[in-house]
């Protein structure tokens, strides 16, 4: 059951990711990308590359409290986390000028 949910979530995340500066590795039980370490909970590793040189990374854990949620809700949670991450970087990169 959970494996199927994470498989669907992986599809949703891939479908929604249209930013070419973002690199996302899915570290889910059903779908483990190369750069993943095995952890207690499934997670995504997000890399944001700015102007080809500055690389920021963030891991977004998907804790058990979220597992009961609908796949769409999970995808929205992930999208929100990624959006916040990008806004933080933008404020660091461009906020000080």
Per-residue pLDDT tens over the stretch 32-72: 767 788 788 899 999 988 776 788 999 999 999 988 999 99
Tokens of 17: 């990711």
As a whole number, mean pLDDT of residues 65-85 equals 93
Boundaries of every domain in the chain: 2-94
H runs (alpha helix) in the chain: 2-16, 64-67, 71-94
pLDDT of residue 51: 77
Per-residue pLDDT tens over the stretch 4-19: 888 899 899 888 877 8
Quick check: pTM over 0.75? yes
Half-sphere exposure of 81 (CA within 13 A, CB side): 19
């Amino acid at each position: 059951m959970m494996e199927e949910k994470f498989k669907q979530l992986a599809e949703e995340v891939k479908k929604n990711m249209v930013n070419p500066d973002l690199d996302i590795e899915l570290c889910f039980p059903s779908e483990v990308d190369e750069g993943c370490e095995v952890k207690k909970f499934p997670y995504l590793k997000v890399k944001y590359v700015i102007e080809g040189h500055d690389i920021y990374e963030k891991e977004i854990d998907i804790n058990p409290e979220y597992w009961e949620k609908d796949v769409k809700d999970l995808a929205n949670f992930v999208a929100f986390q990624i959006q916040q991450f990008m806004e933080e970087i933008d404020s660091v990169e461009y906020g000080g000028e």
